[in-house]
Structure formats: C-alpha cells, structure tokens
Amino acid sequence: MSNVAVVRAFLEGMQSPISQVPDHLRRSMTADAEWGNSGFPPCVGIDDIISKHEMSGEVFGDYVLTAEILHIAEGADGVVFTERMDVGRTQAGEEILTVPVTGVFEVRDGKVARWTDYFDPRGLLENLAKLPDVEAYFTGKK
C-alpha cells in the first residue's frame, strides 16, 4: 500500500464516533508515534495520543470527525501532505466545529509514525471557550 493510501485509510478510519477511535489508532499508528497540533503540546506514544482523543470525547461528547481531503501529495521522501476540511458533528448530525487543516504524515511499515496538523485554531477555540473544563483539553489533566 502506498503512503498516500495509508494516510487516506487512516483518515477514513477516524470517521467513527470518538469512543471507537482508540482501537483504530492502535491498529493504524506505530507504538512510538507522535501527533502534533499547531499551538498545542505534542503527544508522544500511542497511549498519549489515545488519551488526548479520549479527552476530546469528554469535552465534545461522542462526536464524529469527518476529514474531507481537498488535496493530497507524497514527497520524494515518502512524507504525505494533506489539505483538508475537518468537520466535527454530534452523532445526531449537528456541526460542532469546522477547521481547515494542512496535515503532514510520516509512514513507517504501513503505519502512521508522525502526524502533524497545522490550522487556524479560531473555530476550535470558539467552541472550547464554551466548555467548563477547557484547561483539561490543553493539558490532558482533569
């Protein structure tokens, strides 16, 4: 499977209720994977990545994130770049956030080893500002 195909499958697998995403992450990412979002502390290791996704479920509910890939390309070194529109919705279909994203993925042995998203956090921050425990989202501590 090409690196582009791995990233496409990875993003498609993320389109489940957030409570089901940890299983997908364990299958699709390396144990030592890194996940970064511009302006937020990075997650290092699959357990840290899963913890952040679980925290996001506590913050936003059991939402579903859809990643609409606008453009995707693989560099000569195998790094995959995406331009996406990520849309979070409740399971009832209510849109809770929309974020334009540029993502960079490194693939190793058919799994995502590094995933970094760059985005304007305005839409995310507007929704986070409504939450009673916004600090937990940023720090990972309840």
Residue 55 confidence (pLDDT): 81
pLDDT tens readout for residues 80-132: 999 999 998 988 888 888 889 999 999 999 999 999 999 877 766 666 666 65
Whether pTM > 0.95 for this model: the answer is no
Residues linked to residue 44 through DSSP beta bridges, in sequence order: 34
What residue ranges define each of the domains in the chain, with the CATH number in brackets? 3-137 (3.10.450.50)
Residue 120 confidence (pLDDT): 79
Q: What mean pLDDT, rounded, does the chain reach?
A: 88
Burial class of residue 46 in the structure, from the number of CB atoms within 10 Å of its CB (0-12 exposed, 13-18 middle, 19+ buried): buried
- Return the H-helix or E-strand segment holding 69: strand 64-74
Residue spans of alpha helices (H) in the chain: 3-13, 21-28, 46-60, 122-128, 134-139
Is it the case that residue 43 has pLDDT exceeding 70? yes
Is it the case that residue 141 has pLDDT exceeding 80? no
Residue 107 confidence (pLDDT): 98
Residue 140 confidence (pLDDT): 55
pLDDT tens readout for residues 16-41: 999 999 999 999 999 999 999 887 78
Residue 59 confidence (pLDDT): 76
Residue 91 confidence (pLDDT): 86
